[in-house]
Homo-oligomer: A and B are copies of this chain.
């Protein structure tokens, strides 16, 4: 987290209060906030921060590989600070909560050449859906 700020400063980033507070809001595990959620949490600490700055900062963090963008539902994109340990996602179909998961095996191995249509296949992303303990209760 402070490592993150160090890396960013070394990458020639000006360390502004806005950028710092966006980075702080994104800190943690299983964090997958929308840009609006990032904005309201950031605004709780720094009331004058603008939507545009939040979007700018998120875009830069994604470009630098410090945050990954997750499009789960065709609605707002979610921003995920867990960018250095590759993982997949498990979504609750009722409440929309998201957990990071690490399946076994390589999903790429499950796509036979006969099903590749001549593509050079680079990556596989798995989205699991189910019902979370809270919603099942």
Contacts and interface: CB of A to CB of B under 8 A. Distances in A.
Interface string A72-113: 111001000000000000101100000101111101101110
Tell me how many chains of this kind the complex includes.
2
A121 to B, nearest CB: 4
Contacts of A99: 117, 119
B115 A133 contact: no
Contacts of A110: 103-105, 107, 126
A120 B131 contact: yes
A25 interface: no
A92 to B, nearest CB: 7
A102 B115 contact: yes
Contacts of A2: none
A23 to B, nearest CB: 22
Interface in A113-133: 115-133
Interface of A: 69, 71-74, 77, 90, 92-93, 99, 101-105, 107-108, 110-112, 115-133, 136
9 contacts: A101-B116, A117-B132, A118-B133, A119-B131, A122-B130, A123-B130, A125-B126, A125-B129, A127-B127
